Amino acid sequence: MTVELKNSPQIPDCYYQNDPVLIRPDRPTPNHSLYLSNLDDQKFLRFTIKYLYLYEKAVCVENLKFSLSKILSDYYPLAGRLRTATSNEDEKLEIDCNGEGVVFAEAFLDYSALDFLEFCAKPNVSWRKLIYRVDAPTFLDVPPLVVQVTKLNCGGMIICTSFNHCICDGIGTSQFLNAWAQTTTNPNYVLQNAPFHSRHLLKPRSPPKVTFTHPGFTTSTHDLDQNDEFALIKYLQSQPLVATSITFNPSQILALKRNIIPSVKCTTFEALASHTWKSWVKSLNLSHLLKVKLIFSVNIRKRVKPELPQGYYGNGFVLGCAETTVKELSTKNVSHGVKLVQHAKSSLHDDNIKSMIDLLEGKKVKTDLSTTLVISQWSKLDLEHLDFGSGLPVHMGPLTSDVYCLFLPIVGDPESIRVSVSLPCSMAEKFEFYMTQNMDMGNDLGSNCYYG
């Protein structure tokens, strides 16, 4: 459950003149079952990635439908349906590539782009109206891709997409969306990187060989009590949440790095992830003896041998995991967290990744979210440059906010990063405080940070 801050207005209801339609590939496509790898099929990924794009000027909806149909001929699994593999008893998923089609809804909203921009830094629950809700009995019955184009009263539009995460990762969704946009502006556009469909490159070995420890996963089946601090994520999700949003510009990111160097050289992600993790933990007032984890996605397309082909749009990432105690993370310089993140990344070589894929063959293995902050980096996926023919979006971001943390791109400011995560109200205030505390370092970071 998520609630908004008082200054976050509810958008009006969308008006649908017609029922949604199914957009099918514009030519015959292979009809077969597509195997999903263990990285695709994780229970952790059984949700949808929802993007929101705001444009000051709308484009012809029929053109969007036409180009979507054309691009689906290349990305035909997205026009199929998820199902449980009939040859398995462990609920292993696969894609029925039947060309049934993508759900495409067209709506009108009595709202302007300027109205939306005024409050768009923090997602709000009423935005869920901007993606058509498919009435389906289970998660598997919802089509892998749902699109809604909402015309605004100013002549602008909002495009929202909902991708099933079991079929593609962030890189894959960006690959698809950019191909759709380029096909819309140029119907004769030829894909530079044709989608690579097969997931067998990431099949487990036979027999599986788990040769490394993987701290991001657990096989525990213990039903934790909701009040137990080890069930932290369950506790947080049971609370009314508010979305926090803090934007760091290049000078502020540099100031953060200067606080780490010369102790350790680091990337922007390593510095900001460690700082966010530390601020998040401190805001929760946990026992100093508790072990806490940071989980983050690491692209493996060039880490595995052989490398995954260009155009691979399935889940080509694994979870890096850093862990330490609350006391060490809270009291030491942020460079402590940076070193842990760097170690987690460097350990993800080919043998370790194959061991992790083999580990996921176990029916009881699950991602350990008990005392964990999860960070997903959207800021380097080229998601913000989608031009369907009316110019770049004036805003790009998630449709909803959750307890998982996102590093988001800023349209028109590629070197800035917006950190977004939802927390209970009292914790959110502390989190914002710790994110900006003692961060001036000659740059007055605290006063320049932006709170949505």
Residues known to be catalytic: 165, 387
Apex 120 CA angle, 117 and 126, nearest 5: 115
Q: Are 58 and 155 in contact (CB under 8 A)?
A: yes
Residue 366 to residue 135: CA distance in whole angstroms: 28
Query: β-pairing, 450-451 with 32-35?
Result: unpaired
DSSP state of 403: S
> How far apart are the C-alpha atoms of 184 and 402, rounded to whole Å?
32
Nearest to 45 by CA among 404, 419, 353: 404
Q: Residue 420 corresponds to which tokens in the numbers above?
A: 């977004």
Contact assessment for residue 32 and residue 196, using Cβ atoms and an 8 Å cutoff: no
* DSSP characters over 15-37: B-SS--EEE--SS----EEEE--
Can you read off the two tokens belonging to residue 104?
Answer: 């495409």
Which residue type occupies 304?
A: V
Tokens of 145: 């891709």
Residue 66, class by beta-carbon neighbours within 10 Å (0-12 exposed, 13-18 middle, 19+ buried)?
middle
32 contact partners, CB below 8 Å, separation of at least 6: 97
Answer for the pair 377, 238: CB distance below 8 angstroms, yes or no. Answer: no
DSSP state of 77: G
